[in-house]
Structure 1
């Protein structure tokens, strides 16, 4: 007896399959698993693509939104569980769990003292003794930092999570071609190389590159606007952020430092904010600018007496993306800035590796 195959045995269309199979579940991962999956996907992309040069500075805002995960993504997350521990940012790295972002009272900003404050800051930069790295030496920056992890979770849209405050140390050669980053809990034990042959620019500066920049504030600001055109949420915000990035993990000649401050004062929207604290809890006075699209205010914190740059802070000042006003999205503090003779060497330990 010859059995004929029914039409259903020969082929099944998508609609028929959907009718026959049980309805799929709605897998929902915890926040830790969301972050783990996203980190894995980023690692996979970086390992299979032509890797760009490592960033010479911390990201302005690290944003990972807790999103629903599909069944396919869930399978990938389960497969990845065997490769690393929960919460890790890579094999062998156990990243500390994020914490709820601090909330502060929003201090009003004003232009009333802007000109005089900037002149005090610029004058102090000109008179301050700045070490100059020689051939074979490295610029060392030690900071205490915390950056945004998620702006809100699926379970609580009002909760913003950030990294716990932690130490970050960076070494860079004057030409920017060699470097090292040590950030326990966020990089593999012992740190990672920052060696790179990327062309130096405002977005990837080196000490040697900074020495070539104009020290006339008007000419410098014009160059910044031109080279950052089309980036960021607005030309003014991008110009302000670019200057801030040059202050954070770099060493600049005194004349250029003064020019950067004077150029920043010419950016529309820049104000002075009093009673601002950096990540080390040091109180200072700040030059600040609000990103009108994201609603957060970037603040550069200076010592109110010596006008030394202390660190930076980003505070939400307008409701946006479910982030509540007063939320501190990121904050940093420069603890040490020096010139050393080798990567992984710390000031006071010349001749020995860290």
Structure 2
């Protein structure tokens, strides 16, 4: 799955293009699958302790070090939401108690919202979870969960206003544009490279 990240610069119809300091994007794949698994196994199953662990983890505070892309320190609430959604999106199977703790932890984060009836690009309708506030993005990004099993289905981005990239005269995304991803399958396999 490819993360949709904010552009290096952005502007509104009435402003000049200015560089944007990008927030943490843990979807940068800066850890190996084994390192992600080790981090997952260290997480507590108590929702409050889970939030404390995620918000205090130096890896998620400092973010991936990409050449030429400055990162700001992401506020703890946004960081906790982003990291928990990263874990939920990456793992087809997770210890049930830990998965339950993640959902309970999400409910404790101020600004987390839920909408029913949000569709992924494959047309599956689920619960759309999103974070209200924080950075001034031109779009709302929903993380979509199956309404019965709570398995991760994908994402949906809905542009709330025109978004201009660089100095072009036309918006790259018009208000009302929609994009997203769909996780169609995941499996546990015996060896790297095997398909389930």
What TM-score bracket applies, with the shorter chain setting the length? 0.5 to 0.7
Contact 1:211 1:253 in 2 (8 A): no
Structure 2 residues without counterparts, runs of 5 or longer = 12-31, 63-71, 165-170
Contact 2:61 2:74 in 1 (8 A): no
Within 5 A, what are the aligned runs for 1:62-141?
63=7
Match of 1:216 among 25, 34, 46: 46
Secondary structure in structure 2 of the residue aligned to 1:275: strand
The equivalent residue for 1:287 is 129
Deviation at 1:319, TM superposition (A): 5.5
Give deviations 1:169-220, integer Å, cap 9, x for gaps.
Answer: xxxxxx835xxxxxxxxxxxxxxxxxxxxxx3xxxx22x3312210110011
The equivalent residue for 2:156 is 313
**Structure 1 residues 325 and 232: alpha-carbon distance in aligned structure 2, compared to 1, 3 A threshold:** farther
Deviation at 1:259, TM superposition (A): 1.0
Secondary structure in structure 2 of the residue aligned to 1:304: coil
Contact 2:6 2:137 in 1 (8 A): no
Secondary structure in structure 2 of the residue aligned to 1:274: strand
What is the rounded CA distance, in whole Å, between the counterparts of 1:264 and 1:256 in structure 2?
Answer: 12
Within 5 A, what are the aligned runs for 1:1-354?
58-61=2-5, 63=7, 176-177=33-34, 200=35, 205-206=36-37, 208-227=38-57, 228-229=60-61, 231=72, 234-250=75-91, 251-290=93-132, 291-317=134-160, 321=164, 323-328=173-178, 330-347=179-196
Secondary structure in structure 2 of the residue aligned to 1:271: strand
Deviation at 1:60, TM superposition (A): 4.2
What is the rounded CA distance, in whole Å, between the counterparts of 2:181 and 2:73 in structure 1?
Answer: 21
**Structure 1 residues 279 and 272: alpha-carbon distance in aligned structure 2, compared to 1, 3 A threshold:** same
Deviation at 1:236, TM superposition (A): 2.2
Contact 2:138 2:161 in 1 (8 A): yes
What is the rounded CA distance, in whole Å, between the counterparts of 1:244 and 1:297 in structure 2?
Answer: 15
Structure 1 residues without counterparts, runs of 5 or longer = 1-56, 66-150, 153-174, 178-199, 348-354
What is the rounded CA distance, in whole Å, between the counterparts of 1:62 and 1:256 in structure 2?
Answer: 30
The equivalent residue for 1:107 is none
Deviation at 1:318, TM superposition (A): 5.0
What is the rounded CA distance, in whole Å, between the counterparts of 1:341 and 1:310 in structure 2?
Answer: 24
Cα root mean square deviation, aligned = 3.0
Contact 1:211 1:252 in 2 (8 A): no
What is the rounded CA distance, in whole Å, between the counterparts of 1:309 and 1:61 in structure 2?
Answer: 19
Deviation at 1:225, TM superposition (A): 1.8
Secondary structure in structure 2 of the residue aligned to 1:287: strand
Tell me how many residue pairs correspond in the alignment: 157
Secondary structure in structure 2 of the residue aligned to 1:335: coil
What is the rounded CA distance, in whole Å, between the counterparts of 2:142 and 2:108 in structure 1?
Answer: 16
Deviation at 1:63, TM superposition (A): 3.6
Deviation at 1:280, TM superposition (A): 1.2
Secondary structure in structure 2 of the residue aligned to 1:339: coil
